Chains A and B, each alone.
Chain A
Amino acid sequence: MSKNTSSEYVKLISSDKFEFIIKRDIALFSGTIKNMLSSPGQFMESEQNTIHFRDIKAVILEKVCQYLYYKDRYNNSTSEIPQFNIDPTIALELLMAADFLDC
């Protein structure tokens, strides 16, 4: 299996089998994802550019993806930054996921 390190997109799969395809450099805003994809070893994740999040639900993972795009858009931006809205019902789970993913 050839190592495709220059692919532009990566696939994140939630526990309930939803697939989120996002740009690779945006995914790298999460420290954990960055390690998984760019670590020197031949881990399964970096080989296939796909990560299975076995214990993160789609609704949470979707919010994480939204956040990563938000971060990319407004990082080092001088224009006014809109607030990132989070539904309180998922807040706690989202917090755990954020801690886990280092983002």
Chain B
Amino acid sequence: MSVRSGGKGKIKPPKRQEQSSIEGWESLCKALQSLVKGESENINFYDNYRIAYNIVLHNNGDKLYINLKELLNQHLEEVFSSQVISALSISNTNNPQPNFANMISLKVLKCVWEHYKKVLDLIGPILMYLDRVYCKSAKVPTVHELGKELFRDIIFQPIKYFILDTILRQIFLEREGEIIDRSIIKAIMDMLLELTGTSTKDSVYDTDFEGLFLEKSSEYYRIEGQRLVEECDAQGYIKNVEERLEEEQQRVKNYLSSVTEPKIRNIVEKELISMQLKTVIEMKNSGLIHMLKNEKIDDLRRMYLLLERVTNGHEEMKYIISNYIYDFDKVVNKTGAKDNIADTTFQEARDFKNKLDKSLNLAFFNDKMFQTAFNEAFKFLSNKDIN
């Protein structure tokens, strides 16, 4: 609001607030203690806001801040020892159903966190003047930030590894086909995203969870890739990879942060496609050449699309097909009498070329690079024949 200068009349000084500070202080503290338990009925916002305002106005903001910190500290310690510890004791190593028990502990943690956030939402507005004026000038965290930091230090840090291990175990189980409780995982993830690290602005999710998740995922998919090439033919392998890619995308949507999406996708593509590229393409009786000879258009298209994701995917395909064409005369002339070797080869080559053209059109989306590579290869082959 701007004030017009000039004008008559004396400027009335504002009434000095009496320093009934001690009485106000006690009343405010009592109110805060109720709020910390989550009870807000019959609390007069205005009076308490006014008391906090006066305290800050008279330069006692620091005392109020210390008091608040003490109050939250005490509350969190109490919550930790009464609720969190007992929840964790359910999931000791002797428990026959450790996964289930661990999830119960996480559920307790979720409730504790959500209740605590409500408490901060009750206290924050009343101490808004403290935030606005004191916290800014003293460069200390605001009520909300302070609250979250204390939560991180008192409740989260001591059980950090338990939380991370439990979550990673659940993800492992889900990848193995079991049904898990996603809502609890999501709630804990949200908590990890809201808590910031001690010395950084990054969330605990970034610093503690994501790296570990990606590491474990790499391991998992490395083993998965090795297992799949042993158990499946090329067609089955491709199908499995498609499913896994879809699964991880859903996982991110359901309970991970979207920043993780490209990272986990890269891992799956690396471990399941790049690392097993040659093996899958060259699979006996089911690989790329087999598909071409038997005109498995759908399989070819899927392979094309899947391998597009990795840098050498298409290169490898072109290479294998080109090589096959180069050596066509060697492969084909096993049968047939000596006289008409040339004829047989020529006929077979023509047949193969037709199939290839069809595949190019229907499965490889008329990819020009592929077309060029094949044409070159056939030219080379026909030159060989002539000689």
* A40 x B45 contact (CB < 8 A): no
- Cα A30 to Cα B13 in complex, Å, equals 23
Q: Hey, which bits of chain A sit against chain B, CB under 8 A?
A: 31-32, 35-36, 39-46, 51-55, 67, 83-96, 98, 100, 102-103
A91/B40 in contact, CB under 8 A: no
- What 9 A-B pairs are tightest by C-beta distance, nearest first? A41-B40, A35-B125, A43-B45, A89-B9, A88-B7, A41-B122, A39-B125, A36-B45, A93-B14
CA of A103 to CA of B132 in the docked complex: distance in angstroms? 13
CB-defined A-B contacts under 8 Å, sample of 11: A39-B45, A41-B121, A45-B44, A46-B45, A52-B46, A54-B50, A55-B15, A55-B50, A84-B2, A93-B12, A95-B3
Given contacts A40-B118, A44-B43, 20 further A-B contacts (CB under 8 A): A39-B45, A39-B122, A39-B125, A44-B45, A45-B45, A51-B46, A54-B47, A54-B50, A83-B2, A86-B1, A86-B4, A88-B4, A88-B6, A88-B7, A89-B12, A93-B12, A96-B14, A98-B1, A102-B128, A103-B1
Q: Which residues of B contact A87 (CB under 8 A)?
A: 7, 9
Report B129-155 CB contacts with A as 1/0, cut-off 8 Å.
Answer: 100100000000000000000000000
Across the interface, which residues of B come within 8 angstroms of A85, CB to CB? 4
Q: Do A91 and B3 touch across chains, with their CB atoms under 8 A apart?
A: yes
- In the bound complex, residues from chain B placing their C-beta under 8 Å from that of A53 are 46
**How far, in whole Å, are A89 and B12 apart by their CA atoms in the complex?**
6
User: Residue B46 contacts which of A31, A54, A67, A91 (CB distance < 8 angstroms)?
Assistant: A54
Name the residue on B nearest A67 (C-beta).
Answer: B1
Cβ B46 vs Cβ A42 within 8 A? no
CA distance A92 to B1 in the complex (A): 12
Q: Is the CB of B1 within 8 A of A39?
A: no
Asked if B41 is at the interface (CB within 8 A of a chain A CB), the reply is: yes
Contact (Cβ within 8 A) B125 A36: yes
Interface: B10 (CB within 8 A):
yes
On whether the beta carbons of A86 and B125 are closer than 8 Å, the reply is no
A34, closest chain B residue (CB):
B125
Interface flag for B42 (CB, 8 Å)? yes
Tell whether B337 is near chain A: CB-to-CB under 8 Å: no
User: A43 to chain B: which residues have CB within 8 Å?
Assistant: 40, 43-45
Given known contacts A51-B46, A102-B132, is B121 in contact with A40 (CB within 8 Å)?
yes
A92 and B4 contacting across the interface, CB-CB below 8 Å: no
Chain B residues at the A interface, C-beta cutoff of 8 Å: 1-15, 17, 35, 40-47, 49-50, 53, 118, 121-122, 125-126, 128-129, 132
Minimum CB distance partner of B35 in chain A: A41
Q: CB-nearest residue of chain B relative to A88? A: B7
Q: Say whether A36 contacts B46, CB under 8 Å.
A: yes
Q: Which residue of B lies closest to A45 (CB)?
A: B45
Q: Which of B6, B118, B128 contacts A35 (CB 8 A)?
A: B128
**CB neighbours of A39 from chain B (8 A):** 45, 121-122, 125
CB distance from B361 to the nearest CB of A (A): 58
Question: Is the Cβ of B53 less than 8 Å from the Cβ of A31?
Answer: no
- Alpha-carbon distance A84/B53, docked complex (angstroms): 27
Q: How far is it, in angstroms, between the C-alpha of A44 and the C-alpha of B45 when the chains are bound?
A: 7
Inter-subunit contact A84/B40 (CB<8 Å): no
B4: chain A residues within 8 A (beta carbon): 83, 85-86, 88
Q: How far is the CA of A41 from the CA of B37 in the complex (A)?
A: 12
- Complex: A31 Cα to B132 Cα, angstroms: 11
Rounded to whole angstroms, the CA-CA distance of A100 and B35 in the bound complex is: 22
Q: Tell me the bound Cα distance from A78 to B1 in angstroms.
A: 19
A90 pairs with B43, CB closer than 8 A: no
Q: A54-B50, A55-B50, A84-B1 are in contact. Are A89 and B44 (CB under 8 A)?
A: no
Rounded to whole Å, the gap between the CB of B307 and the closest CB of chain A is 53
Q: Which residues of chain A come closer than 8 Å to B43, judged between CB atoms?
A: 41, 43-44
Q: Assess A36 versus B49: contact at CB under 8 Å? Given A43-B44, A88-B9, A102-B128.
A: yes
Cβ-defined contact, B1 with A94, below 8 A: yes
Contacts of B12 in A (CB 8 A): 89-90, 92-93
Residues of chain A within 8 A of B125, CB atoms compared: 35-36, 39
**CA–CA, A45 and B41, complex, Å:** 10
Q: Please, how many angstroms separate the alpha-carbon atoms of A51 and B47 in the complex? A: 10
- A40 cross-chain contacts in B, Cβ below 8 A: 118, 121-122
The answer for the CA separation of A103 and B40 in the assembled complex, in Å, is: 25
Tell me how far the C-beta of A87 lies from the nearest C-beta in chain B, rounded to whole angstroms: 7
